[in-house]
Amino acid sequence: MQHLRIKSLQEYQETYQKSIEQPEQFWDEVANNFVWRKPWDKTLEWDFAKPEVKWFKGGKLNITENCLDRHLEERADKTAIIFEPNNPNEAAQHITYKELHSRVCQFSNVLKANNVSKGDRVCIYMPMVPELAIATLACARIGAVHSVVFAGFSAKALASRINDSACKVLLTADGGFRGDKITPLKSIADEALQECPSIEKTIILNRTNLEVTLTENQVWWHEELEKVNDVFEAVEMDAEDMLFILYTSGSTGKPKGMVHTCGGYMVYTAYSFLNVFQYQENDVYWCTADIGWITGHSYIVYGPLLNGATTVLFEGVPSYPDFGRFWQVCEKHKVNQFYTAPTAIRALAKHPTSLVEKYDLSNLKTLGTVGEPINEEAWHWYDEHVGKMNCPIVDTWWQTETGGIMMSSLAGVTKDKPTFATLPLPGIQPILMGTEGIEIMEQVAKGRLAIKFPWPSIARTIYGDHERYKQVYFSTFKNMYFPGDGALRDEDGDYRITGRVDDVIIVSGHNLGTAPIENAINEHEQVVESAIVGFPHDIKGNALYAYVILYNDVLPSEFLKIEINQLISDKIGPIAKCDKIQFVSGLPKTRSGKIMRRILRKIAINELDNLGDVSTLLNPEVVEEIIKCRI
Ligand code: WTA
């Protein structure tokens, strides 16, 4: 793979040019660096109007042969995963490629013994431990579709994800360590399982020694392992067979199960990992995300392992036992590439820099960020205190839907620029669209972002709802993919992502749709209606502001606010709690009854002088009242 690494600006420019002029030939050449059981017949078939995208049609492969088997010749004893536990006093584990291969094969046998076969959906609700990565890979090896649900989600959120794709088996743990707390995963899962008829078996890892009782159809992970050996031939998959489903929030209704397929996802995550981070053979790479999010899928598990890299898997949180933990781990494992989120950087920057300076960070070569726009201050703090002005920062823009990094500088190869994602990766064709739905041709401009050509790791559909996939991503602009983000382009052609242009709010790097949170609030028996908007927050990037209408005879109280947040926590998870809740007598609405969020947003950020014309509202008088009582 190393020869696919772009090493100079000129090489980037030439490669990019080629990738646009001859995309099929370009991706053919990249894809030729993998192990295919049978080569593909056709590189690309696409129609954004349908929408339909197929890469490497007819090709047969198993992604785990590319992540594991093929490394055994040269890298059997190389460390694949460094596991750093939550508790700094618990020993780290170094898992070699050979051992990882063996453990994945063994767990594939466990899945098989529990009646999982190709095409079945398996839900994984686990803490950040090696078994999570192993289970994910074992699903891929057996041809089952993994659906990893972040272990911070509530029972209700877990249940709705299990049911949406009718998962057959659930993999979970007794509990998960996070800082000084233990999340009781098994009991949350049990609550979810009350309403999940499709689950036939639950396999439970003992991680925390919590006392749990197994009921019918629940088995211990370690006991299952004892029954099987570690020989398992990977199941042959079609390039376009489903590899996984991963849920992401939408601006309306239930979460969207984004479907990724085997061939294209493999090619793109491997290629982008290598080039963005400029990973070299003996580097140690660390991405602090959770495998429950796309960043963890693509850039903790698949991208690094496809490259035969050493990837750090961290169980804990940046604040435990103190706010120096990230840097202590960087020193301990001599991390070369470090990839985290702006919200984490902002949180760490609030603490004395002595917590960074205490540790030897001289091995760092590349820093990365992902998840939301990074503000200038956080960028410079990262650059100065962590990178010592000596490490390029890759600001990587992408989405659950895109599978891999779409725009970013390539570390040390193309120029980085504070707060700019900069340039598209080879094969990616971004453009800016104006309000009229026409491409903006001027170089320096601001607009909505669109992508006009497919790339190998684009999500192929929303599980069970292709029509929604079409509506959300392909109906805003004709024959283009619309990611829902705005951007500006400067005189160098560099892009800066300005944020969401729909009703998705990014809180601490997590995508939250307003609709599901409003639905949760509205379920409170004393609530008539509610509206959520985002407002800037020092650490979280955005926080949530809820405007809530109560029934006439109900008195507003602090207690009600707590109840509302508890409800949100139960329905979605603590990440979706509101920082501010204001009780109002009405919400500003258009004559057709649509809530004018634009006005509510302005009130939340105290930008009161340009609310626009409110006289056309159905109920203009309510605006005055809301302003008067704003929090
Ligand atoms: C936002 C995370 C600015 C964006 C990989 C996108 C970013 C959404 C960046 C996807 C970035 C992600 N700069 N904004 N570098 N990276 N975003 O699906 O709004 O969790 O649409 O995928 O995060 O979030 P998701």
When pLDDT is averaged across residues 235-248 and rounded to a whole number, the result is 98
pLDDT value, residue 435:
81
**Ligand 1 pocket check for 395: Cβ under 6 Å:** yes
pLDDT exceeds 90 at position 612: no
User: How far is 62 from 37, CA to CA, in rounded Å?
Assistant: 8
Same domain? For 544 and 449 the reply is no
Judge whether 118 and 235 are in contact, CB under 8 Å: yes
> How far, in Å, CA of 333 to CA of 210, rounded?
30
Q: Is the confidence at residue 33, as pLDDT, over 80?
A: yes
Residue 500 lies in a domain: no
The residue segments making up the domain with residue 575 are: 508-628
Residue with CA closest to ligand 1 atom 7: 372
Do 399 and 521 share a domain, yes or no? no
Mean pLDDT of 475-500: 95
State the average pLDDT over residues 178-207: 97
How far apart are alpha carbons 351 and 294 in whole angstroms? 29
Question: Do 261 and 388 reside in the same domain of the chain?
Answer: yes
Residues 544 and 618 in one domain: yes
Mutate to test the pocket of ligand 1, among 485, 502, 510, 542 (most ligand atoms within 8 A of CB): 485
Q: Does 44 fall in a domain?
A: yes
For residue 595, what pLDDT band results from cuts at 50, 70 and 90?
confident
Above 80 in pLDDT, residue 510? Answer: yes
DSSP conformational letter for 407: B
Q: What is the mean pLDDT of residues 99-111?
A: 98
- The answer, yes or no, to whether any atom of ligand 1 lies below 6 A from the CB of 404, is no
170 within ligand 1 shell (Cβ under 6 A)? no
Lowest mean pLDDT among 262-266, 317-321, 596-600: 596-600
Q: Relative to the CA of 407, which ligand 1 atom is closest?
A: 15
pLDDT value at 26 more than 90: yes
Q: Whose alpha carbon is nearest atom 10 of ligand 1?
A: 399
pLDDT (tens digit per residue) in 419-454: 999 999 999 999 999 988 899 999 999 999 999 999
| Six token digits for residue 366 | 């590349």
Ligand 1 atom 13, closest CA: 373
> Is 500 touching ligand 1 by the criterion CB < 6 Å?
yes
In this structure, are residues 65 and 35 in contact, taking their beta carbons and an 8 Å threshold?
yes
Residue 195, pLDDT > 70, answer yes
538 and 612 share a domain?
yes
Q: In the prediction, which pLDDT does 424 show?
A: 98
State the average pLDDT for the chain: 96
Read off the CATH number of the domain in which 159 is found. 3.40.50.12780
Q: Which two tokens stand for residue 460?
A: 């192929």
Among the listed ranges 35-49, 443-457, 494-508, which one has the minimum average pLDDT value? 494-508
Using the 3D structure, point to which of 431, 456, 486 is the last residue of a domain.
486
Ligand 1: does its nearest atom lie under 6 Å from the Cβ of 288? no
Q: Is the CB of 398 under 6 A from ligand 1?
A: yes
pLDDT in tens, 458-486: 999 999 999 999 999 999 999 999 999 99
Please tell me the distance between residue 499's alpha carbon and the centre of ligand 1 in angstroms: 8
Q: Does ligand 1 come within 6 angstroms of the Cβ of 416? A: no
Q: 399, 448, 472: which to mutate for ligand 1, most atoms within 8 A of CB?
A: 399
pLDDT of residue 180: 96
Domain presence at residue 501: no
- Is pLDDT larger for residue 324 or for residue 251? 324
Which of 74-83, 190-199, 252-261 has the least mean pLDDT?
252-261
Closest approach atom of ligand 1 to CA 499? 19
Q: Is 487 in the pocket of ligand 1 (CB under 6 A)?
A: no
Taking the CA of residue 510 as reference, the ligand 1 atom at the shortest distance is: 20
The model's confidence at residue 618, banded by pLDDT at 50, 70 and 90, is: confident
Q: Is 138 in the pocket of ligand 1 (CB under 6 A)?
A: no
In a domain, 499, yes or no: no
Amino acid type, 349? A
393 lines ligand 1 (CB under 6 A): no
Residue closest by Cα to atom 3 of ligand 1: 373
Does 497 sit in the ligand 1 pocket, CB within 6 Å? Answer: yes
DSSP symbols for 223-285: HHHHT--S--PPPPEETTSEEEEEEE--SSSSPEEEEEEHHHHHHHHHHHHHHHHT--TT-EE
Alpha helices in 22-142 (DSSP H): 23-31, 63-67, 72-75, 97-113, 130-142
How many structural domains is the chain composed of?
2
Indicate if 375 and 519 belong to the same structural domain: no
pLDDT at 614: 82
The secondary element (H helix, E strand) that includes residue 451 is strand 445-451
pLDDT mean over 262-280: 98
Q: Given a cut of 80, is residue 609 above it in pLDDT?
A: yes
Task: Give the model's pLDDT for residue 592.
Answer: 72
498 in a domain, yes or no? Answer: no
- Answer whether 294 contacts ligand 1 (Cβ < 6 A): yes
Indicate the pTM of the whole model: 0.93
Measured by CA distance, the residue closest to atom 12 of ligand 1 is 371
Nearest CA to ligand 1 atom 1: 372
- Can you tell me the distance from the alpha carbon of 579 to that of 150, in angstroms, rounded to the nearest whole number? 22
- Closest-CA residue, ligand 1 atom 22, reads 399
From 486, 519, 537, the end of a domain falls on 486
Distance 100 CA to ligand 1 centre (A): 31
The reply to whether 367 and 255 lie within a common domain is yes
> What are the pLDDT digits (tens) for 557-591?
999 999 999 999 999 999 999 999 999 999 998 77
Residue 475, H or E segment: none
516 pLDDT above the threshold of 90: no
In terms of Cα–Cα distance, which of 317, 314, 298 is closest to 306? 298
Verify that 466 and 532 share a domain, yes or no: no
